Amino acid sequence: MTSKSTPPDFHFNFTTVTGYFLQDDPSTDPDNFDYVTSNFGLIPRSYDSDPEFDPEGRKTQWERFEYQLNQLNRDSSPATQFKLLFLGRHGEGLHNVAERRYGTELWD
């Protein structure tokens, strides 16, 4: 007879790392922010890994950011992983248009 083993408790702890995207800068106005015209919000800046990866300054901001992200993962403990998540939502839907047309009270 085999005994069932109980899997160990496991959870993820998600946190954010600030200083890479305009979206987490308190001075960014979310009502007027356009991620398309702002390189998806990636802040034009230098990284600690630039001297190693791009000493001549020829790489794009995104290439340098990707290298920095990989460097963070290389330098972190095995229990820590850095991931870049782009989360979005759809644009204006028919239900949004209808609610504006008929008003929230009638739409609900």
User: What are the DSSP calls for 59-107, one per residue?
Assistant: S-HHHHHHHHHHHHHHHS-TT--------------HHHHHHHHH-HHHH
Average the pLDDT over 20-46 and give the result.
93
pLDDT on residue 1: 58
Whether 100 has a pLDDT exceeding 90, the answer reads no
Tell whether 15 is covered by a domain.
Answer: no
In a domain, 66, yes or no: yes
pLDDT of residue 107: 80
pLDDT at residue number 97:
80
* Domain enclosing residue 40, as ranges: 22-107
Q: In the prediction, which pLDDT does 96 show?
A: 78
Answer yes or no: is 14 within a domain: no
Q: Looking at the 3D structure of the chain, how many domains does it have?
A: 1
